[in-house]
Amino acid sequence: MTNDQLYGLLTGILFGFLLQKGRVLRYDKQIGALRMLDMTIVKFMMSAIVVGMVGTYLLVDLGLAKLSIKPMITGAIVIGGLLFGIGWGLFGYCPGTSMGAVGEGRLDGLWGIAGMVAGAALFAEVFPLLKNTVLKWGDFGKITLPQVLGVNHWFVIIPFVILTLLLFRWLEKKGL
C-alpha cells in the first residue's frame, strides 16, 4: 500500500467511526431530515462544515494548505443538484454514507452502491454530449464567495458561523 492509500484508509476509518457514532448513516435519519422530522444530519453536517471552514482557512492563512476550488458551472450544478436530490430521496443514502451504512449492517446500501457504479458508467458514456452543452452553461470558473463579494474571507466565515449557531438554537427550541 502506498502512503497515499494508507492515509486515505486511516482518514476514512476515523470519519466512518464518527459518522456511525453521530447516527447519520441510517435511512431513517437521512429521509427523516428530508421530511423535516429529525435534524440529526443537519446538526452533524453543519458542525463539520463550520469547524472545517474555520480550520481550513486558518491553515490557508498560515500558508499550510491550499484551497481546492471547484468551478462554478451554474447549469451543471443546478441540474446535477436537482438530480442528486431526487436520487438521494429514493436511495436514502449519499455516496459516502452508503458505505458507512453497509458497515453497520444496512444491506440495502449495497443496491444503491451498485446503482451508483451504474450511474457513473452512464455519465462516462454521455460525457462527450454534456461536455459542450450542460457543462458549459453559466461557467464562471473557479470562484469563491469572498472573491465575488470583494471582501476578506473572514467577513464571510464569521457571519456564516453565527447564522449556523442561530440555526442550532432554533432547532433545539423546536425539538427537532
Partner 1 sequence: MEKNKDPGAWNPYLAGALAGLVSVGSVWFTGKYFGASTTFVRGAGYVEQMIDPARVKQLEYFVSTKPVIDWQWMFVVGILIGSFIAAISSGSFRIQAVPDMWQKRFGGGLVKRGLVAFVGGTIAMFGARLADG
Residues 69-128 that bind partner 1 (CB under 8 A): 70-71, 73, 76-77, 79-92, 94-109, 111-125, 127-128
Which of 7/155 has CB closer to partner 1? 7
16-45 binders of partner 1 (CB under 8 A): 16-28, 31-32, 40-41, 43-45
Tally of residues, the chain: 176
Distance CA 138, CA 141 (A): 9
Residue 107, SS3?
coil
Least distance in angstroms from the C-beta of 151 to partner 1:
23
What values do phi and psi take at 67, rounded to 5? -70, 150
Least distance in angstroms from the C-beta of 166 to partner 1:
14
Least distance in angstroms from the C-beta of 167 to partner 1:
12
What is the C-alpha R_g of the chain?
Answer: 19
> What separation in angstroms does the CA of 134 have from each of 5, 71, 74, 76, 130?
33, 13, 9, 5, 5
Distance CA 156, CA 153 (A): 5
Which of 4/150 has CB closer to partner 1? 4
Do 88 and 94 touch, CB atoms closer than 8 A? yes
Do 87 and 81 touch, CB atoms closer than 8 A? no
Give the three cell numbers for residue 168: 442550532
Least distance in angstroms from the C-beta of 150 to partner 1:
25
Indicate whether 65 belongs to the interface with partner 1 (CB under 8 A). Answer: yes
Tell which one of 146, 161, 167, 168 touches partner 1 (CB under 8 A): 168
Least distance in angstroms from the C-beta of 131 to partner 1:
8
Q: How many chain residues interact with partner 1 (CB under 8 A)?
A: 104
Q: Give me the 128-167 binding string for partner 1, x by CB under 8 A, dash otherwise.
A: x-xx--xx--------------------------------
